[in-house]
Amino acid sequence: MRIVRTTDYKDMSRKAANIISAQVILKPDSVLGLATGSTPIGTYRQLAEWCAKGDCDFSHVSTYNLDEYRGLSHDHVQSYHYFMRKNFFDHINIDLANTHVPDGANPDSDAACAEYDRIVADAGYPDLQLLGIGRNGHIGFNEPDSVFSKGTHMVNLTQSTIDANSRLFDSPDEVPRQAYTMGVQTIMYARSILVVANGKDKADAVRAMCFGPVDPQCPASILQLHTNCTVIADEAALSKCPL
């Protein structure tokens, strides 16, 4: 793991955007794995700004998002498909036909997950996978478990994840309790991985990810075994790491 310390959220976002833009510049038809949540928004805004200036071209890029709430259609304002349109895709020159998010509207979890596994495999897996990290160490919606997950699967969200996401809904009761998520094994197939983290509330998770035992109780800890993983985090998120 390479750990990059940044001064604050803006610095973290810019450094992460630098890595992603370099990937796209060097390989214009890159396959990008993308994440949702509040942490990557600054990175997406920076990339959109550079795209508007003509410094970054997404016209040949394809993207595959990690996860989606089960039960929400693509046009639902709280869906991750909608999130990606609002925060990134509508602000860059990407072909929307080349953007992919699990089909949360499909009630058949086995079919929805198998189909997403197929299209990610057909794409050859991401050249670069962007990740955030949850307070309990989850990546995507891979929650703490007794084993590391493999392919795309349905998960029951933990209460801590539901609580963390409730700020985005009018009421905690509206937060979906299940999601479809790319599995840990699929994430590890990416040729490079970029993790972004900020804030003191992520400090325990970041320490466990980078310096704890490789344990499915902290799904992100498996990233220690990846051959090309970079963690970009601010001072607060790294405050409990022995650096």
Catalytic residue from among 103, 143, 165, 234: 143
**Domain spans of the chain?**
2-238
Pairwise CA distance, residues 33 & 227, whole Å: 17
Question: Is 122 buried (19+), middle (13-18) or exposed (0-12) by CB count in 10 A?
Answer: exposed
Give Cα 140 distance to the centre of its chain: 6
- Closest of 91, 29, 104 to residue 65, by C-alpha: 104
Domain topology for 2-238:
Rossmann fold (3.40.50)
Is 170 considered catalytic here? no
Catalytic residue from among 106, 136, 142, 198: 136
Is 136 considered catalytic here? yes
Is 103 considered catalytic here? no
- Structure tokens of 119? 């299209």
Catalytic residue from among 67, 103, 127, 234: 67
Is 67 considered catalytic here? yes
User: pTM of the full predicted structure?
Assistant: 0.95
pLDDT (tens, 9 = 90+) of the chain, 243 residues, equals 999 999 999 999 999 999 999 999 999 999 999 999 999 999 999 999 999 999 999 999 999 999 999 999 999 999 999 999 999 999 999 999 999 999 999 999 999 999 999 999 999 999 999 999 999 999 999 999 999 999 999 999 888 888 887 877 888 888 899 999 999 999 999 999 999 999 999 999 999 999 999 999 999 999 999 999 999 999 999 999 998
